[in-house]
Structure 1
């Protein structure tokens, strides 16, 4: 499949790369890492990365605004996105050919070519594997800019290599990427430094989380709480891992109120939670998923079902 993707890349003069809404470092890492990789090897091609920008990821890259006519006769590649409903920029279907590259469960088998590897720690890891294939097949070169982005994506999706998804291969790839010329300290600072108001919110989370006897934990962040700490719903993504530090927690959910919905961020140390996410308009990995609730009543049902999952897991 990797060689088929490379063949398609070589056929098109214009390539547009998409990723998922509400991006994280792996979304940007895989999207822009692929963009910089292709630019280094095909300088005469026009290669774009599109989607709504998340200011917290400016340290990595900034997407481009492109007109509708650019999509005509173009190759579209979507990275790190399990289903079409989560693809950022709905114009993805107006190109000539669509390729899906992803590491989430393949519930939505979209695209003319699909390369899905659920064993990969991240989509950025897959882009590196594509580079290895391209190096052997077409003498591809890796650029420093691409290496930096792919490293950031891998770090982000493995939680600095602490999640079970970080395999021996993941560490091998990371070891290869750090041989390139980029500032790892700058990458880590961009990913993990927090504004003082966000740290104050973290203190609120530690003071107000709830946990039951089976290790199910949750925190509700209402619009009023976010306004008090002057934090956006998107900013709270940097704090999702906070509850993992609590002894006895085996799964947890962040409930973040937005204008018309409640963002649901589910994480786990063992119980499978992506099926729960699917019940509430979402999905994701077995131990890291996202969903959406449209009322606090619905959000409370997420909490109740998470508690039951943890109870069954501890039996």
Structure 2
């Protein structure tokens, strides 16, 4: 598969890399890490990163301003995105050929070339694997800024190597990446430091979550609560794992109300919850998924289903 991807890359002068909406460190890490990897090894090619920027990821990097004309005759690579609805910037369909590189279940097998490995901790891990193949067979080198981004993506998607998705291979790759020249302390600060307002909201979550005897838990963050604490819905992504240290908890859901919908963020320490996410128009990993509800009544149905799953 790596050889097919590299052979395809060689055929195009313009390559546009996409990732999913509401990006996280692995979305940026795999997308922008791949961008700098390809720019370094194919300096005559035009490599662009598409998608709307998330200000919470300023510390990582920024995507490019991609024009409609850029897609003409371009190769499109989509990283870390399970289904077509979640691709940030639907103009990806205007490219000549699409490559999918992902580690989520391949329920939506879009793309002309598809590389999906659900055993990988992250899409960033897969990009590193692509690099090692290119290094051995094409003489590729990995620039420091690409190494930094790939490392951030792995750290983000493994919860600082605490999640079961962090395999021996993951640790070996991380060990190789830290040999490159970048400031890990500054990177960790960017990923995990919080404003005081966000910490206050975290305190609200600890004080107000509800847990069923089954080990299922939930907390609802309304628009009024977000306004009270001066926090945006996007910023709350840093708080999703907050309840993971609660003793006796099996799985939890945090609801974040927006103007037109309610974000449903599911996490688990055992029960598989991505099938539940699919029931509500979402998806993801067995232990970390997301979905959308359009009323608090629908949100309550998510809670009921989570309790059923934790009780079985």
TM-score, normalization by structure 1? 0.99
Counterpart-to-counterpart distance in 1, 2:146 and 2:52: 21
Residue 90 of structure 1 is matched in structure 2 by 90
Following superposition, the deviation at residue 300 of structure 1 comes to 0.5
SS of residue paired to 1:256: strand
CA offsets 1:29-55 (integer angstroms, 9 cap, x no match): 000000010011011110000101110
Following superposition, the deviation at residue 66 of structure 1 comes to 1.3
| Count of residue pairs brought into register by the alignment | 312
Residue 300 of structure 1 is matched in structure 2 by 300
Residue 25 of structure 1 is matched in structure 2 by 25
SS of residue paired to 1:307: helix
Residue 280 (structure 2) pairs with residue 280 (structure 1)? yes
Following superposition, the deviation at residue 214 of structure 1 comes to 1.2
Residue 56 of structure 2 is matched in structure 1 by 56
CA offsets 1:227-264 (integer angstroms, 9 cap, x no match): 00011111000000100011111100010001100000
Runs of 4 or more, structure 1, over 4 Å off, are none
SS of residue paired to 1:119: coil
CA offsets 1:178-213 (integer angstroms, 9 cap, x no match): 000000001100000000000000010011000011
Residue 172 of structure 1 is matched in structure 2 by 172
Counterpart-to-counterpart distance in 2, 1:17 and 1:116: 16
Residue 38 of structure 2 is matched in structure 1 by 38
Residue 158 of structure 1 is matched in structure 2 by 158
Counterpart-to-counterpart distance in 2, 1:241 and 1:116: 25
Question: Residues 1-315 of structure 1: matches in 2 within 5 Å?
Answer: 1-312=1-312
TM-score, normalization by structure 2? 1.00
Following superposition, the deviation at residue 137 of structure 1 comes to 1.4
Counterpart-to-counterpart distance in 2, 1:254 and 1:21: 19
Structure 1 gaps of 5+ residues are: none
Counterpart-to-counterpart distance in 2, 1:286 and 1:74: 34
CA offsets 1:47-71 (integer angstroms, 9 cap, x no match): 0001011100011111111110000
Give the superposed CA RMSD.
Answer: 0.4
Following superposition, the deviation at residue 220 of structure 1 comes to 0.2
